[in-house]
Structure 1
Amino acid sequence: MNFNWDDIRIFLTLARLGSIRAVAAATGHSAKALRSRIMDLEAQTGAVLFHRSAAGVSLTKTGERLIAAAEEIQKQAKVFGALSMRGRQDLKPTARVGITEGLGAFWLTPMFGNLRRAHPDIQFDMKCSMTAPNISDLEVDLAIQLDKPTDPNLIVRRIGYLHVVLYAAQSYVDEYGAPASKADIADYHFVEIEAPQIRSERVEEEMTREDKRRFVNMRVNISSAQFVAALSGWGVTALPTYAPIVSSGLVHVAKDFVLRRDIWLAYHPQAAELRHIRQTIDWVVQSFDASLYPWFREEFVSPTEIEHYMERKKIMSFFTPGAVAKLAS
């Protein structure tokens, strides 16, 4: 039996909206055509899928049982559609990468030169978000995230570790001093980030049991705002140890605080069969190679050691003219 994928989509949309008129508005089909498509689908399945009434439609028991199967068919249709578009010879192959905003903006973007030099034909589409993308439906081809994906159909591997410590701007330390210990944080100003994949509650539990309303001075939901707030001197905040690679002007404070997170790479096995996706995956893995970038090692490498590494390698912070090209070379 051959089903029309578009009929499956209409079935799912009608089940969700419960109204032929609403589906007509959402899909552009006429109400008459939609009724005909649903009747055809019912004829193919040999079962009534919807109860009809003046108030709209609702799923029958059989219709409810078919929802999971229909969703799986639609998922496969999306995968097939996304992959088949890649075969067009007139289009530049695109690698869509989902990544947390901090790692995307402050690490992978500066490293892009390596991918561009090695594979200038690849169009790199990076989607920075604190929310984990839907890899299973090929919303992206691969993702770098801090929470481990649970979908058993994905290929998942740890590609590094993110060590988080406390920083404050030199201007803040000059004016207010520096907390000597994480227990002292409640006596200073704190810039908090609250977002998916960011465990702000664990950061605060590791620092102090004080009510955070006493010491949180500013709250943001994206890493770029957090980083700018720290550089502007608005308070102490938790940042990756490689912050000196990104910008100068930050001071490591309360050195007894360290929090480690895993960095996960996940991708759909069907997407990885494409040559340009495989090349992008290899580049991502190299970008987090701890033998090249020791701050991604499992063991803790302190900001002081990172600064000494920068001195030995004559590396400037990213946001210094000419620095990006030097580190990415």
Structure 2
Amino acid sequence: MDWDRLRIFHTVAQSGSFTSAGNRLNCSQSAVSRQIRALEESLNVSLFTRHARGLVLTHEGQELFKTANGVVQQLEETQRRIMESKQSPKGLLRITTMVTFGAVWLTPHLKHFMEEYPDIDIKLILDDADLDLAAGEADVAIRLHEPEQADLIQRPLATFHVHLYASPDYIDRMGMPLDQSDLCNHDLITFGETNAPTLKNLSKILEIIQPGIKWKPRLQVNNLYAVLNAVEAGMGIAVLPDYLVHNRKKLVRIFPDWEVQNYNSFFCYPPELKGSLKVALLRDFLVRQIKAESNIL
């Protein structure tokens, strides 16, 4: 199969018209049309259905486009790796992670990363739901739970610690819980109904504390920031990650010598970015930063 014709076909399929494709390829509309006609004749199939509003791929055209698109992506990735190997890393790197971790811990640390690599621009996408890296919604994800997408490259990043917390005002009013079973006599704040994987895991911790007990929360909120603010306001006791509570003098750890539950985090990216220098630099940077601050995580 002629690669030049396949490349032109891919551009036409993306553009939706011969004219738009010609503009992108810097050639005439008639030249593009001739190449597509020659490709169709060589394959003995119609690749497009012609409409007044543009071109629509036939079933055969859709199959060919999938293959052509995969080839183009691999070529672009190869080109990117070659370029990165010959020059300092540059360009946009899209990172996604959950809202609180991204806002509280990651964002301040990215300042040092961007100072170290001034030609790398960052787009930080904070979302408690998992973005689809395979679909191109982001380049890299920092997941604070076991990744659910099996096709991603996953590197263990850090172990995070969580504990039960309350405010001094709440303790003065309601007293300090004497043991784990005494929590039934206290106002508990939980995450309620949520599809966010990390928040789901935090919600399950109360089940681990006292198996078989059906906890009745006093307040349910599906946002970690809101839970933190509710605890600081003295509304009850909640499970919170230590990184979120660090340096907040308003909170008291309940059962300070008891490890409630730890959970692992992962640095994830799609296989096509395996050779990306930008991704490798970010991964190594995060590992160094987390190792230096493991006492607060």
- TM-score between both structures, scaled by the size of structure 2: 0.68
AA at the equivalent of 1:196 = A
Change (3 A) 1:119 1:47: same
Verify the 8 A CA contact 1:190 1:237 in the aligned structure 2: yes
Map 1:195-206 → 2, pairs under 5 A: 195-198=195-198, 199-200=200-201, 201-206=203-208
Distance 2:190 2:83 in 1: 44
Cα-Cα RMSD: 4.3
Q: Which runs of 5+ in 2 are unaligned?
A: 21-28, 51-55
C-alpha displacement of 1:58 = 11
User: Which residue of 1 is the match for residue 262 of structure 2?
Assistant: 260
Residues in 2 aligned to 1:95 and 1:282: alpha-carbon distance in whole angstroms: 15
TM-score by length of 1: 0.62
CA contact under 8 A between 2:96 and 2:141: conserved in structure 1?
A: yes
- Which residue does 1:322 correspond to in 2? none
Map 1:26-41; keep pairs closer than 5 Å: none
Query: Do the aligned residues in 1 keep the contact of 2:189 with 2:227 (CA within 8 Å)?
Result: no
Q: Is the 8 A contact 1:178 1:254 kept in 2?
A: no
Secondary structure at 1:134 match in 2: coil
Q: In structure 2, do the counterparts of structure 1 residues 8 and 295 end up closer, same or farther at CA, with 3 Å as the change threshold? A: same
Alignment check: 8 A CA contact 1:83 1:271 kept = no
Shift of 1:168: 1.5
Matched residue, 2:232: 231
Is the CA contact (8 Å cut-off) linking 1:165 and 1:257 kept in structure 2? yes
Match of 2:246 in 1: 245
1:280: how far off?
A: 2.3
CA distance in 2, matches of 1:136, 1:160: 23
Deviation at 1:160, TM superposition (A): 0.8
Cα distance in 1 for residues equivalent to 2:283 and 2:125: 15
Measure how far apart 1:41 and its partner are: 7.7
Secondary structure of 1:140's aligned partner: coil
Aligned-residue identity in percent:
22
1:100 aligns with 2:101: no
Deviates more, 1:185-194 or 1:269-278: 269-278
Rounded Cα–Cα distance in structure 2 between residues aligned with 1:58 and 1:220: 43
Q: Determine helix, strand or coil for the equivalent of 1:233.
A: coil
Contact 1:156–1:265 (Cα < 8 Å) also in 2: yes
SS in 2 for 1:242: helix
2:222 to 220, 223, 226: 220
SS at match of 2:162: strand
Which structure 2 residues correspond to residues 4-153 of structure 1 after superposition, within 5 A? 45-47=43-45, 69=67, 72=70, 76=74, 93-145=91-143, 146-148=145-147, 150-152=149-151
Q: Tell me if the contact between 1:108 and 1:287 (Cα under 8 Å) persists in the aligned partners.
A: no
8 Å CA contact 1:160, 1:264 repeated in 2: yes
Q: CA deviation at 1:8?
A: 5.6
Q: Counterparts of 1:139 and 1:84 in 2: how far apart (Å)? A: 24
Q: Is the 8 A contact 2:165 2:251 kept in 1?
A: yes
Q: CA deviation at 1:173?
A: 1.9
Tell me if structure 2 keeps the 8 A contact 1:181–1:257: no
**Partners of 1:98 and 1:126 within 8 A in 2:** yes
Distance 1:257 1:139, change over 3 A: same
CA contact (8 A) 2:101 2:244 kept: no
Q: How far apart are the structure 2 equivalents of 1:67 and 1:216? A: 55
Match of 1:162 in 2: 160
Distance 1:7 1:183 in 2: 68
- Partners of 1:281 and 1:237 in 2: CA distance: 31
User: Which residue type is aligned with residue 192 of structure 1?
Assistant: F
Number of matched pairs: 270
